[in-house]
Amino acid sequence: MNLINPKQVLSQKAELNRAAYEYLVDTAQRSVLFMDTLRKRGNDYFDQIRKGKPPVLTFDYEVILNGRDLQQPVAFSLARIHDRRDPLQAKTTDGLEKRLSDSNNTAGLDPQKRPVIIIDPRAGHGPGIGGSKRDSEIGMALNHGHPVYFVIFEAEPLPDQTLTQVHHAQISFIEEVIRRHPAAPKPAVIGNCQAGWASALLGADRPDITGPLVFNGSPLSYWAGVDGKNPMRYRGGLTGGVWLTSLWSDLGNGIFDGANLVAGFEDLNPANTLWDKQYYVYANVDSEAERYLAFERWWNSYYMLTRAEIHYIVSNLFVGNKLERGELELEGRRINLKNLKEPVLIFASSGDNITPPQQALNWITRVWKSVDEIKRRQQVVVYLLHDTIGHLGIFVSGKVSKKEHKEIIASIDLIGYLAPGLYEMVIDEGEIEGEFQVRFEERQMDQILALDDGQLDEEDFWPVAAVSEINDRLYRTFLSPWVRMAMNQWAAEWIRLFHPLRISRYMFSDYNPWLLPFEYLAPVVKAHRRPARADNPYVKVEKGLAQMISDGLNLYRDIRDQSQEFWFKVLYGNPVLHFLLQERRRTLKEEDMDEKVCRIEWLDASEIGGFVEGIVRIMVLMAHADARLRRKVLKTYDQVAATDERLKQLSKEDLKQIIQQQSCILEADEDRALQALAKLIPDIQDRTAALEIAKKIALSDHMMTDEKNLILAHIRRALHM
């Protein structure tokens, strides 16, 4: 018989009472610090407005070209990022980084180092997220010695500013960078999120001025996605298309409020917006408050677009999906992504619910149709996939910057050495001498399409585009004149003023007198902080309840998203609607490219050239002996080019062009290309040197495979060695 020990019961009650007291003290203190954090967030919102909503860059910069001074003025500027290193950093008394101004002298920079231009998304927020931390895209580019430039846009666009004018301004910015670095290769352009399609427009419209293009979390295939996972693509159809954008622009007196775009993003994940983000700060207020405030400083800076800009973006890109189809027009000319000439690198994540991998990659299969066409056009396309990181983490996460962005920047000059084709960039875990091990694996279109669950679901978006045009035309004809007549600047400002996102900032700021006591209570609480232990039973109960609330909001989201997908398919999957609107479906005529003609063209070139063409052909053949090409092999290209007297005379751009040409010759007929080596390299000493270079390429990754030995034997026989 088990007897209850009274002392043990009393001890347990006493422990629970102590835990309860500890938890109540901790909860009260956390509540004060959390409310003070929200107060600071609201104050930061007004402080940013007073400062003119500057970029949230943590790097010093200087504006070198103001878009207002261009022939077609725009509210954009080109900034040069100052090259600061860690030893120059300092800390203020509150532990934050102090922005130190350094010299503008660039004499220490390598004049032949490729400049990097970074463009941030213009999707309701301001610029700077690509450089809001030391460990960021900008930080990684500076660490690799690249001159870095950043495109800044203002909170208020110029009246009647158009996307075409912005496009021309960005072209002027790139030309200015080229002018400042005449000895360097063409600048690499990095586009984050929606800036990715802007970068794609630049590369397709002016391939003569852009270097490698990097698209980070960039949607170029707006209709793509997986059933049950990507609900954002359905919302344009469920709201009737672009007419709602026209309405909000009219209510803004010709200006579209970026807060509407931010609200759309927040609505995607109500659990995070309404609960998780705030609770995480509340539960970890001692360590997370500053990080939260730094992010909210950017997230709460709502930027505007003109009516013309947002209408063009939504109608042509989001709803119309015209960019990947080659139907997007600028100034009456069509922009075709087939015109991209420089290597393209796409970074996407399976954890991204705003730009899933299907929207980031499917355009490749639509533009080039096959890997053979990519090769015929001498194009290099590389993609990098992350398993879990969310959309904002692609640009904000320090871990991503120190791994993926670090290796993207490190590879940006080397991917041009790849033979034309489609590759996946794979980063292996574990650093060696400060770098991760990177390899490029050849891929086929089917491997991109395997990320999707089929493309039949995209057929329902054709009637969406047609219905959108009809609705917008009806609105502009019958309702828009009345709305514009009723609106003026004063009314538009009041509508913006009472946006729910802004009201939440007013309520939690010093403009609310009920929050003023927290300004004085917070320092006292910090001085006497007594956090509860992690094993406190009441803390565990709190976390369990918090998880229940989050799960409930996630359940609501899932039911809502499934309902929206269902009704979208009911409305736009209707065969009758497809039949009625079939005449509005436009198909772009495919360019007639005769594969045989291309093959004959390269075969005729197999015996043209000399030692340079021959040795490059050998390097390409040896480097691509394996399907997995390690980055070390591409680095060896630079070493060979730096040591051989004849290759030294070539610029990197000339070398890359010869690599592309020789790759196509090998693709056309490898046997014939090998047989021609003896004619290209007639001298016996040159043949010996060529064979040594082939061995150097083969051993650059310290692995001699059977395939490499076989290729070496073929080269030796071709050179009669």
- Domain presence at residue 671: yes
Q: Degrees (nearest 5) of the Cα angle 621, 626, 628?
A: 125
First CA to last CA across the chain, in angstroms? 95
For residue 586, the model assigns a pLDDT of: 56
Two tokens at 173?
């910015």
Question: What is the C-alpha separation between 313 and 332, in angstroms, rounded?
Answer: 16
Question: What is the C-alpha separation between 41 and 292, in angstroms, rounded?
Answer: 9
Q: Is the pLDDT of residue 104 over 70?
A: no
Confidence of residue 592 (pLDDT cuts 50, 70, 90): very low
For residue 588, the model assigns a pLDDT of: 47
pLDDT top residue among 467 and 454: 467
For residue 398, the model assigns a pLDDT of: 85
Section 655-670 average pLDDT? 88
Q: Is the pLDDT of residue 435 over 80?
A: no
For residue 434, the model assigns a pLDDT of: 65
- Domain presence at residue 246: no
For residue 16, the model assigns a pLDDT of: 85
- Domain presence at residue 169: yes
Confidence of residue 111 (pLDDT cuts 50, 70, 90): confident
Confidence of residue 198 (pLDDT cuts 50, 70, 90): very high
Return all residues near 24 (Cβ < 8 A) that are at least 6 apart: none
Section 617-627 average pLDDT? 86
Q: Strand, helix or coil at 606? A: coil
For residue 108, the model assigns a pLDDT of: 52
For residue 433, the model assigns a pLDDT of: 63
CATH number of the domain that residue 379 is part of = 3.40.50.1820
Amino acid at 364: I
Confidence of residue 9 (pLDDT cuts 50, 70, 90): low
Q: Degrees (nearest 5) of the Cα angle 468, 474, 475?
A: 90
Q: Is the pLDDT of residue 227 over 60?
A: yes
DSSP per-residue string spanning 481-511: HHHHHH--HHHHHHHHHT-HHHHHHHHTSTT
Query: Which CA distances in Å does 205 have to 71, 327, 566?
Result: 19, 13, 39
Contact 216, 357 (CB under 8 A): no
For residue 648, the model assigns a pLDDT of: 85
Q: What is the pLDDT of residues 236-295, one digit of tens each?
A: 999 999 999 999 999 999 999 999 999 999 999 999 999 999 999 999 999 999 999 999
Range of the domain at 425: 61-89+112-223+321-451
Q: Is the pLDDT of residue 641 over 90?
A: no
For residue 669, the model assigns a pLDDT of: 85
Lowest mean pLDDT among 272-276, 350-354, 603-607, 659-663: 603-607
Section 537-561 average pLDDT? 96
Q: How many domains does the chain have?
A: 2
Question: What is the C-alpha separation between 620 and 693, in angstroms, rounded?
Answer: 11
Lowest mean pLDDT among 190-204, 435-449, 649-663: 649-663
For residue 132, the model assigns a pLDDT of: 85
Q: Is the pLDDT of residue 209 over 70?
A: yes
- Domain presence at residue 396: yes
Taking the CA atoms of residue 94, residue 95, residue 99 and residue 100 in that order, the dihedral angle to the nearest 10 degrees is 100
Q: Strand, helix or coil at 97? A: strand
Q: Is the pLDDT of residue 629 over 60?
A: yes
Q: Which element (helix H / strand E) includes 204? A: helix 195-205
- Domain presence at residue 174: yes
Whole-number mean pLDDT of the chain?
A: 89
For residue 101, the model assigns a pLDDT of: 37
- Domain presence at residue 405: yes
For residue 600, the model assigns a pLDDT of: 61
Decide which of 403, 431, 451 is a domain's last residue.
Answer: 451
Q: Which element (helix H / strand E) includes 314? A: none
Q: Which letter does DSSP use for residue 86 in this model?
A: G
DSSP per-residue string spanning 531-571: PPPTT-HHHHHHHHHHHHHHHHHHHHHHHHHHHHHHHHHHH
User: Mean pLDDT: which of 12-21, 106-115, 389-398, 475-484 is highest?
Assistant: 475-484
Report the candidate in 203, 190, 29 with the shortest Cα–Cα distance to residue 116.
190
Confidence of residue 624 (pLDDT cuts 50, 70, 90): confident
- Domain presence at residue 456: no
Confidence of residue 102 (pLDDT cuts 50, 70, 90): very low
For residue 640, the model assigns a pLDDT of: 87
Q: Is the pLDDT of residue 94 over 80?
A: no
For residue 408, the model assigns a pLDDT of: 95
- Domain presence at residue 251: no
Query: Which CA distances in Å does 405 have to 234, 273, 700?
Result: 31, 27, 24
Decide which of 390, 421, 451 is a domain's last residue.
Answer: 451
Residue 544 half-sphere exposure toward CB, CA atoms < 13 A = 6
For residue 87, the model assigns a pLDDT of: 38
Lowest mean pLDDT among 263-272, 443-452, 652-661: 652-661
Q: Strand, helix or coil at 291? A: helix
Question: What is the C-alpha separation between 134 and 89, in angstroms, rounded?
Answer: 10
User: Mean pLDDT: which of 469-483, 648-662, 690-704 is highest?
Assistant: 469-483
Place of tokens 């690249």: 146
Q: What is the pLDDT of residues 23-65, one digit of tens each?
A: 999 999 999 999 999 999 999 999 999 999 999 999 999 999 9
Taking the CA atoms of residue 251, residue 253, residue 256 and residue 257 in that order, the dihedral angle to the nearest 10 degrees is -70
Question: What is the C-alpha separation between 277 and 271, in angstroms, rounded?
Answer: 8
For residue 228, the model assigns a pLDDT of: 87
Q: If phi over 0 gives left and psi between -120 and 50 gives alpha, with beta otherwise, what is residue 720?
A: left
Section 582-589 average pLDDT? 58
Q: What is the pLDDT of residues 374-432, one digit of tens each?
A: 998 899 999 999 999 999 889 888 899 999 999 999 999 999 999 999 999 999 877 66
Decide which of 430, 451, 472 is a domain's last residue.
Answer: 451
Return all residues near 154 (Cβ < 8 A) that are at least 6 apart: 52, 53, 75, 76, 77, 303
User: Mean pLDDT: which of 144-153, 423-432, 660-669, 689-698 is highest?
Assistant: 144-153
